[in-house]
Each structure stands twice: as C-alpha cells, then as structure tokens.
C-alpha cells in the first residue's frame, strides 16, 4: 500500500525590532527571533499572527513569513506557458 506524500512547502517565521518603519533592517541581528519552520503557509500564518499580536504595542517589532520552498526550488512555482 503506497502512501501519498503531501508536498512540503517550507516556510520560516522570523521577527525582531526594525531600525525604522520604512525598511526591513533589523536593529540587532543577535535579537532576531526564529519562531519556527513550518510545512505549509497555513501553519506559518498561525504562528506569525500569534507573534504579531503579542507585540502589537511596539510599532517597530515585525514578524515575517519567509517562503523557503521558493529559495530551495525557484522553478517550483513557475507555471507552464501555453
């Protein structure tokens, strides 16, 4: 019996305090928080939203979802042109 393996679309959630609100430059790279690695966007979004809501009082704190699957396999999202 063969099992169907779901594709792994890895996502990384990171965050930290930014220098200013106009750029994505972290104030201190040593303090960037790695929230976690997730197998799909939906679970990464839940983690991102939770962390973002915890830091809503600090306008310079930002969390991001990094689409690692796009970095690991750039052609994966490409659609054939017909």
Q: What percent of the chain has pLDDT over 90?
A: 73
Taking the model in full, what pTM does it have? Answer: 0.80
Among the four given CATH numbers 2.60.40.10, 3.40.50.300, 1.10.760.10, 3.30.70.2400, the one describing domain 11-70: 3.30.70.2400
Residue appearing with tokens 């594709």: 7
* Distance from the Cα of residue 25 to its chain's centroid: 16
Indicate the helix (H) or strand (E) that contains 70. helix 68-72
Burial 36-52 (b: 16+ CB within 10 A, else e): eebeeeeebeebbeebe
- Interval 35-62 mean pLDDT: 96
- As a whole number, mean pLDDT of residues 43-64 equals 96
């Amino acid at each position: 019996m063969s099992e169907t393996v779901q594709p792994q679309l890895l996502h990384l959630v990171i965050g930290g305090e930014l220098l200013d609100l106009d750029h994505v430059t972290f104030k201190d790279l040593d303090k960037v928080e790695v929230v976690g690695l997730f197998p799909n966007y939906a679970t990464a979004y839940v983690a991102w939203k939770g962390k973002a809501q915890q830091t809503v009082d600090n306008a310079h704190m930002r969390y991001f979802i990094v689409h690692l699957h796009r970095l690991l396999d750039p052609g994966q999202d490409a659609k054939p042109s017909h």
